[in-house]
Chain A
Amino acid sequence: GQQVMQIPQYQHVQEGEDFTTYCNSSTTLSNIQWYKQRPGGHPVFLIQLVKSGEVKKQKRLTFQFGEAKKNSSLHITATQTTDVGTYFCAGLPSGGSNYKLTFGKGTLLTVNP
């Protein structure tokens, strides 16, 4: 079945440093979504990427979707303590069910003030 690999599993940074998490799918994706889960909280939708090579920005967050629609990345510039949490990518496989998002294991980001 489809697999979505996400690296790194953990990342600890000093406040102000940049952070990147990468997501790779074993199959081509129709779209990819990113979610953030704060400690003790639930996943909250951040963004969706649909087009090959798409880049979207939300303030200090930059999201990219690969040309082959099999990989994606989330980059945070100048991290803040409010960025702490686990970032998940979730891919919808091409040609499959419209409901079966496959989630990566997530990257847990901790920020040292």
Chain B
Amino acid sequence: ETGVTQTPRHLVMGMTNKKSLKCEQHLGHNAMYWYKQSAKKPLELMFVYSLEERVENNSVPSRFSPECPNSSHLFLHLHTLQPEDSALYLCASSQDNWVEVLSRSGETQYFGPGTRLLVL
């Protein structure tokens, strides 16, 4: 599946490094998401962008900084991370069809392969 791509696939960084994760969707969707997946925890929603506007920010520490320059691209900028931030970071997109939004019939989310991050 190549609808949602993420780079890099693996990343090892020190606590003082600055790095960025990139997500690109080729599905013509309007909404993009960042999730964190840690062992033995549910998928945690971090940020949601709809039409390049941030619509959800789930109390994420400021060391994570999202950027959505257009509806196809989403970045997650990382700086001064902690070892407990090591996890799989998943990007997802959804159509964000206004009929579905208004009817609350829900939005199928299409996930990218993820970036496995290790913070040393």
Contact = CB atoms under 8 A, between A and B. Distances in A.
Interface of A: 4, 30-31, 33, 35, 41-45, 48, 50, 88, 90, 92, 94, 97-106
B112 A99 contact: no
A90 B113 CA distance: 19
Nearest to B105: A50
Contact of B41 (A31, A45, A94, A105): A105
A105 to B, nearest CB: 5
Contact of B105 (A31, A100, A101, A106): A31
B74 to A, nearest CB: 14
Nearest to B114: A42
Nearest to A32: B106
Given A88-B43, A99-B45, A105-B40, 6 more contacts: A43-B43, A45-B110, A94-B104, A98-B101, A99-B31, A99-B56
A27 B100 CA distance: 21
A44 B111 contact: yes
B90 A99 contact: no
A97 B50 CA distance: 12
Contact of A104 (B33, B42, B110): B42
Interface of B: 1, 31, 33, 40-43, 45, 48, 50, 55-56, 58, 90, 100-101, 104-114
Given A42-B90, A43-B90, A100 B45 contact: yes
Contacts of A48: 105-106, 108
Contacts of A101: 45, 109
Given A43-B43, A100-B45, A100-B56, A31 B31 contact: no
Contact of B113 (A42, A50, A104): A42
B102 to A, nearest CB: 9
Given A92-B106, A97-B56, A103 B42 contact: yes
Given A31-B106, A45-B109, A92-B104, A99 B33 contact: yes
Contacts of B101: 98
A101 B111 CA distance: 13
